[in-house]
Amino acid sequence: MRAITYSRYGGPDVLELTEQPTPKVGPDSVLVRVRAASVNPVDWKVRAGYLDAIMDVTFPVVPGWDVAGVVERVGLDTPEYQVGDEVYGYVRRDWVHGGTFAELVAAPVRTLARKPASLSFEEAAAVPLAGLTAYQTILRAGVTDGQTVLVHAAAGGVGAFAVQIARALGARVIGTASARNHEYLRGLGAEPVEYGDGLVDRVRAIAPDGVDVILDYGGDDLVATSRALLADGGTVASIVDAAARDELGGHYVWVRPDTADLDALTALLDAGTVTVEVAEVFDLADAAAAHEASATGHTRGKIVIRVA
């Protein structure tokens, strides 16, 4: 099968289009014919070696954790799926090796769910990691109807999902973003505010009593901002700053594969309550350019790789 691989840590230039053996399919896994995968910041961070201290890596690595495709073969004990089923998922294992930037991937059933019928394969591939991250931080923070929620980096891949999910739960959402993304956030149902100096004053101007929940997907000075803005009994959840847990008594979240959570996202997506934005689609052979586009941090929406 064709796959993107790298045999050492480094920049995008270490990515190569190679021929690899068809993955073995374990008893609780299925073989997925990949139609599309998407790029997340963690992909290039792993490739660069930034996570070597916490993740075992077996070279050559096929990068990528997001996938959308069709079940081609089932394992010995996988009653959840049949050949021909359309699936999507966050295919993360306990080590880094056989990822989704390939024609085929062996995916444990715990990492998959049925693909939203309303989405193309490219759109579906853009959902799992970012959508699950948003959903799981919202669950961990206990967002409920009537609360006021501040979302840092609200126009980013995770933040945009979080805005929509929190709104679906009945929360009022304030989102930090640059001015060029304010109309976009209004379209998602958030009240936008400019990040940077003066943020606390700008939020207090529209939420004088503070906020009940802060969801941090890339904010600056989280501790000081949270202490200034959280209402009594409020909580914070972050995917980028452990101080949310260690200093603020909130939550530090690393997304996990979870079929039930993916099913919940599927329901929101198929109902049209949550939408997904694809910024750009690359061919498999152009994975290095896709990594570069993701690493700039200047795109709105997800970078997707079309495999078949």
**pLDDT tens across 147-183, in order?**
999 999 999 999 999 999 999 999 999 999 999 999 9
pTM of the model: 0.97
Residue 296 is predicted with a pLDDT of: 79
pLDDT at 230 over 90: yes
Q: Which CATH architecture has domain 2-119+276-306?
A: Alpha-Beta Complex (3.90)
Mean pLDDT along residues 19-27:
98
Question: 24-33, 82-91, 104-113, 219-228 — which is least confidently predicted?
Answer: 219-228
Q: Phi and psi for 58 in degrees, rounded to 5?
A: -115, 115
Residue 308 is predicted with a pLDDT of: 86
* Cα distances (angstroms) measured from residue 244 to each of 37, 200, 219: 31, 17, 11
Going by pLDDT thresholds of 50, 70 and 90, the confidence category of residue 298 is: low
pLDDT in tens, 121-130: 999 999 999 9
Residue 219 is predicted with a pLDDT of: 77
* Cα distances (angstroms) measured from residue 94 to each of 15, 217, 248, 293: 22, 24, 29, 27
The boundaries of every CATH 3.90.180.10 domain in the chain are 2-119+276-306, 130-252
Residue 300 is predicted with a pLDDT of: 82
Rounded-to-integer distance, Cα 184 and Cα 268, Å: 19
pLDDT in tens, 54-91: 999 999 999 999 999 999 999 999 999 999 999 999 99
Question: What fold characterizes domain 130-252?
Answer: Quinone Oxidoreductase; Chain A, domain 1 (3.90.180)
Buried-exposed string 28-51: b where 16+ CB fall within 10 A, e elsewhere? ebbbbbbbbbbbbbbbbebbbeee
pLDDT at 277 over 90: yes
